Amino acid sequence: MTEEEFDAFYSAAFPRLTGQLYAFTGDHGEAQDVVQEAFVRAWDRRRDFLVDEAPEAWIRTVAMRLAVSRWRRARRWLELVRRTPPPQHVPGPDPERAVLVAALRTLPDAQRMALVLHHLCDLSVEQVASETGAPVGTVKARLSRGRAALARELATAEGEGEDHRVR
């Protein structure tokens, strides 16, 4: 991958990936940080990266792993350090979205990752399995449990109206 190709790929894929990572992390700042970091690593390992026929999936996998590793633990402190914490619930025209973000955040990482990859990134169950290194049966279980938990959370949130479930 030449510099020009990398830059073009970066410009095109960065926005989409931060959107996807936001769905996974529920945090704008963290989503940007991990995607950025994944791109840095991608350039450093561009030889492996070339071999991989799906560079965007490579970046997403790295970014998601970063999001569940030490990056996640550091998240709160990053926000504090930035001193301008990104708004947790975008006070926008769509309170539904805020409710969904809050509900997603209550799920365990593995379930959330499976849901995002399958329902947002359009990966098949088998692809999710290979990307997360879990057996197909486990992925199916995570998806169904995740959906059930999410449905419960959303129902509760609806019942409580404008409840801000910030923890």
Partner 1 sequence: MSDDLTRGLRQLAKNAEVPPPVPGAEVRRVAVRRRRRRRTTAVAAGGTLAAALAALLTVSLGNLSRGTDDRPAPAASPVGTPATPATADATVDLSREVLVIDSREFPVLSGSADAPTPLPTGRMTVTGKKSAKLASGRTWVISLRAPDGSTTFLGSRADVEEAPGDYTGTPGWIGLRRDEARWVYERLSEGSVVEVTGTAPTRDPAPPSAAPPAPSVTPAPTATPGRSVRPEQAPAGTATPSAMVDAGPSGSS
Q: List interacting residues with partner 1 (CB under 8 A).
A: 3, 6-8, 10-11, 14-16, 18-20, 22-23, 28, 31-33, 36-37, 39-41, 43-44, 70, 73-74, 77-78, 80-81, 90, 92, 94, 96-97, 100-101, 115-116, 119-120, 147, 150-151
By beta-carbon proximity to partner 1, the closer residue of 120 and 136 is: 120
91: amino acid identity, one letter: P
Q: How far is the CB of 22 from partner 1 (least distance, A)?
A: 3
Is 144 in a helix, a strand, or coil?
helix
The answer to whether 18 and 63 have CB atoms below 8 angstroms apart is no
Q: How far is the CB of 71 from partner 1 (least distance, A)?
A: 8
By beta-carbon proximity to partner 1, the closer residue of 1 and 134 is: 1
DSSP 37-89: HHHHHHHHTHHHHHHSS-HHHHHHHHHHHHHHTHHHHHHHHHHHHHSSPPPSS
Give, in degrees to the nearest 5, the angle at Cα 136 between 110 and 30: 25
Q: How far is the CB of 43 from partner 1 (least distance, A)?
A: 4
Q: How far is the CB of 91 from partner 1 (least distance, A)?
A: 13
Contacts of 15-18 spanning 24+ positions with Cβ under 8 A: 16/56, 17/56, 17/59, 17/60, 17/63
By beta-carbon proximity to partner 1, the closer residue of 121 and 129 is: 121
